[in-house]
Each structure stands twice: as C-alpha cells, then as structure tokens.
Structure 1
Amino acid sequence: MEKIYYTIEEANLKIKYVEECVIKLMSLERAIRLLDSIEIQPRENNIEDEMMDVEFSLKYHRLNTEFYTLLGELLTKGILVRDLELGVVDFLSRHKDEEVYLCWEQGEKEIKYWHYAQDPFNSRRPISLLK
C-alpha cells in the first residue's frame, strides 16, 4: 500500500468526513459490545432457537464487518484512529523528511496539534511548531 501524506490544509479539509466516520465507528463499537455482552441460552433444542442463534450471530458479524471495513477505509487514506473512545485521529504527514502525525481530536474544528510517528498521542505539540 502506498502511503498518503497530508498537508495541514488537506487534513483540515477531511475533518468533516473523519468526524462522521468516528461517530459511526463509536456507534458500531457500542452495538458490538452490547451484542457481545448478551448470552443466549437455548431453551429447547428446536429449530426456532437455532434460527435465533444464527440471526444473532449474523447481526454480530455484520456489525464487525462494517466496523473493520470503515476502519480499513480510513487506513488506506492515511488516517489512523488512535483512540476511538476519545475520538483521537492521526493524519500521516511529513516534516523535514520525517514522518509525523497531524493529530485531531473529536470536537476540534481544525488540526491544532502534531506528534512524531513514534510518539504517543499525549506528547502532541502545537501545530505552530511545524511552520
């Protein structure tokens, strides 16, 4: 896969799309966790119970497929979801021949921070240091 690098301006243009994706991923994750917490105990060994179990499994796997398809779509665009719970997303970028991440957190209107590729999210620095 060829890497995609973003300028600050290009990443800012993607924020609306990324925010919609993050909201969708959060919703899918909640639904998956809910289904994962449900334990179905068949009452009887009959076709109705077996069908209910199959339908439940299909729903669970469809949600997982949708979740990972969307996550993969973002990754192929050079966008990495770092922390879904906080809504932290990194855009792959370059600065002085070095890979860096432009860091966005849900609720922010534009890219305000960045960090080196090897550094964690909490070490992010103001975007003004890149200019």
Structure 2
Amino acid sequence: MTGSSEEKPSGPAGPEKIRLDKWLWQARFFKSRALAAKAVNEGVRVNSTRTTKAARTIAPGDVLTFTAGRRVRIVKLLACGTRRGPAPEAQALYEDMSPPVPEKQAASAPRFDGGGRPTKRDRRTLSELRARGLE
C-alpha cells in the first residue's frame, strides 16, 4: 500500500452525502457556516424528522424545512455540491418548494428610495414599524 489516502466517494456532481450545516452554507441560505450550524441547532426538519445535529448527513432527494430570516423555507436537495460558488451555481443545488411570500408582508416596509432625507410621512411610518417590531 503506497500512500493510501481515503477519498470520499463522489460522482460527477460531487459527493453523495454532505453535512447539513455545510450544505446550507454552500447553497447560500446562510452567510457563514457558523450561522448555518446555529440554525440547525435551533431545529431543522429533514424529511419531516426534526434534527438539531449540524453533522447530520443529507443526500439528494431529502426535503429540508428550516427558518431563514423571517421565512420558513422548504427545499428539496437536487445535488450536494463541492464548493460554495456563485448564486446561480448554488441555486442549482435545490428546488425551492416554499410558499410564496404574501404581498402584504413584502410591501409592509415604506418605499423610501434612499435619495436625500426621508419625508415626515416616511419617518412616521418607520417609527410605527419599529414600535411594532417589524423592521
């Protein structure tokens, strides 16, 4: 045996299985792997079974349910991936099955364009949102 180094089995699209926190980071749902691990510790469902282990292995075909920001995301794994690449590459790793965001939530923020000072009306709207905890 000369220099036997064990390699992970991989197909043309990458490894067959991958850690849950690493995949969430590679698929660009979280900015860092530590944030992905924290989200897993708070609870992620893999094929409708709750897990809190960041080292849980997942494979293509698994369905994940987790919260990212204020949204509940439901995604089906299509591939494991090999690296954290650009957004189009990351979006090819999964199929998004999440319900669409209601227009009421999407349009709840004021439409201040950032050019110059906000008007008095814009400031009142921002204050109301902060008071309600929506910002």
TM-score by length of 2: 0.22
| Larger relative contact order (Cα-Cα within 8 Å, sequence gap ≥ 6) | 1
The structure whose residues are more often helix, as a share, is 1
